[in-house]
Chains A and B, each alone.
Chain A
């Protein structure tokens, strides 16, 4: 359409001499803005703020998190106590940063346990013979159909879990079933490929093959599950502590801060309930956003393998 009549035939079929240069694409350096495009910048910044704030809680907090300011019970948010105080007179602003440490540690260590158990179990089940495989998978299906919260209830009651390590172990060992199933189906697809067979023929053991051949192949498929299991562990811990079965109220986490909610409801002090909860939800969402970004990123990287 564009001015076809204006171009004469000579111009269309121009004879090009030796001095003629082709049009070169100018490679412009990407601006900072363009580099950030498509990445969950907002979530990353928020997450970074939360994580740094928790790591350097002693610098960020302006009050002693274990201090009871008895003259200032249930103070609404204000100058001195930025987010107010709860019914025990503790400063919520300081508690949030110190409590975040515990919540994040439980989230990360729980996710680590889930990943290790899930990946190992999935690899064993994926490479095993049909009988062992079906027994192993039946086991995960059976455990997976018991409500997780009930399983954790039994375990935490039986083993009297009330410190950070035992809680993350309990959350970890009840959360890996879905991951194991994904890993197993991925391993099934690649276990018969030539390079795995070659590695086996060269004498590579199970651990070697798993580490060098299997895991690099399915890492993209499980990355999202691994990262979102951090947020599910944090949720689980806060639910448990809220129900009074997790951390005791003197070990501060976002969940155990919310376990004072009943008192706050009676006093009608909204800030005790809403502020830690908002921190919790925002962190969970940021983790998931970053997770779904990593999924697409890793997919790009490994798609040709």
Chain B
């Protein structure tokens, strides 16, 4: 991706974004089709680094909030995104000249591209989560002091809601309820910011990373060993860090329940091959959050966890997980901004009630004999 996003870039972008979803973020083939159609009809999307744009320009991240399953049934047209941006402009009294991502993990990597294509506005190579998270305040925007208000939500009937309240936690709480009212999903435009702020609080090069990752994974032709090599190569070269394969085996236990709209539960993987005799437990709440062996912590949120299908190397999202599936579990260190203490206040394991504090993956693995020190080229 150079200075434009073309139709042919979309499958790669969607693919890479799935790995950044850490088990969540949803899948939507519909969204992919809509985005490709929009680019075909309206032209390639101008793609700009936030760091190059004029400071006084206004931007807003866009996303879809709610249930991906409902989205795939009560379908989106794309116009709802335009409406959300328009209404936000009216509510905030600004003109938004560039769009950006809220959440790069999962289907919301495509939402801003669709919005940019339809509106003719450029897309910034930035987002606010660096992966997928469930709640609106789980962004670097919020962590570094940006207000989520005004926030506008629109559904497929054109019904819209507007939220303006000083606390971003309240914005999330209200929005979560309004989404149900609106039928299960809504497009959102929020966190209006001038580019000066975006440069300071955004996670940059997100879309480029997702696309590069997708390109490499697709080139791996569904061979999980090659997919792993691609993950190692791309992530080691980014600000995230080197991925680590935690275990290879079969899912022997799977517990899933819906509480308050969140899909919670855990799965247990029994090791095979060189991991024979080992067991790994992975806890999830919409996304994979924690991996442990007995009481020993192996990886924790905000670091990313992917559970890959052995047959093709694709990441399995929480709602598609099945018992007896053969999988690899891979952990990826999170982008440094997501590990920042201010961000950890909303996305650290303590916040989920899972562990007392965040320990980076690299530190947790130092005690592991199996880890090869040094180069990427030493294998994984």
Q: Is chain B a partner of chain A in the same complex? A: no
Interface residues of B (CB under 8 A from A): none
Interface residues of A (CB under 8 A from B): none
